[in-house]
């Protein structure tokens, strides 16, 4: 934002990006106009997700060495992943495999304990929480913890959707976010 000369912005993120958006709203309240948190990481999950269960067994679904590993991971990202040709999935798998060491470091660093839950009540900007009820990576049971810390947030849970609503229901996700921003604009005194 500094490089682009943007003093304030609406921030939105999914998963780890949601965690980053929340951290930004806490740490830089003067720079954030609103926060959109889509299946955000960063708070405990009272009911372990499929990913949490795999991690407890020593398996990390994000880290794999073969295309077969990607075949396990990809369906975990969405309740109904869109069909893609095999060669596209293979290309994506190959990119993940080539970046495995980077992804391992990102995963390790992003799963360190933080004080985010204790600091979330400091967020004063309008906040949208969106969660896919069928999220297999970050269980929807985390949503009430986010709501408790952000009692004024607009919270939406969608049935039949997994970890990536913006891919599974792109039009509806865009409409929801646009309506959220429009409501903010209408609330601003002129």
Encode pLDDT of 71-106 as tens digits.
999 999 999 998 899 999 999 999 999 999 999 998
Range of the domain at 92: 50-110
Question: Cα separation of 5 and 23, whole Å?
Answer: 21
pLDDT tens readout for residues 40-70: 999 999 999 999 999 999 999 989 999 999 9
Q: Please report whether residue 67 resides in a domain.
A: yes
Entry field: residues in the chain:
190
In the three-class reduction of DSSP (H, G, I as helix; E, B as strand; rest coil), residue 29 is classed as coil
Question: Cα separation of 47 and 69, whole Å?
Answer: 24
Statement to judge: residues 37 and 98 lie in one domain: no
Distances from the Cα of 47 to the Cα of 18, 88, 103, 129, 138, angstroms = 19, 33, 25, 19, 9
Q: Count the domains in the chain.
A: 2
pLDDT over 60 (residue 189): no
Structure-block tokens of residue 103: 């992804």
Q: What is the mean pLDDT of residues 30-35?
A: 97
Statement to judge: residues 142 and 181 lie in one domain: yes
Q: What is the mean pLDDT of residues 4-28?
A: 96
Statement to judge: residues 13 and 26 lie in one domain: yes
pLDDT over 80 (residue 187): no
| Residues whose CB is less than 8 angstroms from the CB of residue 79 and which lie 6 or more positions away in sequence, other chains included | 132, 134, 160, 161, 162, 168
- pLDDT over 70, % of the chain: 98
Q: Please report whether residue 2 resides in a domain.
A: no
In the three-class reduction of DSSP (H, G, I as helix; E, B as strand; rest coil), residue 6 is classed as coil
Widest pairwise Cα distance in the chain: 57
pLDDT over 70 (residue 190): no
Q: How confident is the model at residue 188 (pLDDT cuts 50, 70, 90)?
A: low
What integer pLDDT is reported at residue 110 of this predicted model? 85
Rounded to the nearest integer, the mean pLDDT of the chain is: 94
* Between residues 114 and 161, the one the model is more confident about: 161
Question: Cα separation of 64 and 110, whole Å?
Answer: 18
Q: What is the mean pLDDT of residues 120-130?
A: 96
List residues bridging with 157 in a β-sheet. 131
Categorise residue 140: left if φ over 0, alpha if ψ from -120 to 50, beta otherwise. Answer: alpha
- Residue 45: closest CA among 55, 36, 35: 55
CATH number, domain containing residue 131? 3.40.50.1820
Statement to judge: residues 59 and 106 lie in one domain: yes
């Amino acid at each position: 934002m500094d490089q682009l000369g943007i003093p304030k912005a609406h921030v939105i993120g999914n998963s780890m990006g949601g965690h980053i958006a929340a951290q930004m709203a806490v740490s830089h309240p003067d720079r954030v106009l609103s926060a959109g948190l889509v299946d955000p990481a960063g708070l405990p999950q009272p009911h372990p997700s499929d990913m949490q269960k795999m991690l407890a067994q020593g398996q990390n679904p994000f880290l794999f060495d073969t295309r077969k590993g990607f075949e396990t991971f990809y369906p975990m990202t969405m309740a109904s992943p869109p069909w893609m040709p095999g060669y596209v999935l293979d290309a994506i798998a190959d990119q993940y495999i080539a970046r495995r060491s980077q992804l391992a470091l990102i995963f390790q660093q992003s799963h360190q304990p933080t004080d985010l839950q204790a600091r979330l009540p400091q967020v004063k900007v309008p906040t949208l929480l969106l969660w896919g009820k069928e999220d297999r990576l970050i269980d929807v049971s985390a949503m009430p913890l986010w709501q408790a810390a952000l009692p004024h947030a607009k919270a939406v849970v969608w049935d039949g959707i997994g970890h990536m609503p913006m891919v599974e229901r792109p039009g509806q996700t865009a409409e929801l976010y646009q309506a959220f921003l429009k409501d903010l604009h209408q609330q601003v005194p002129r």
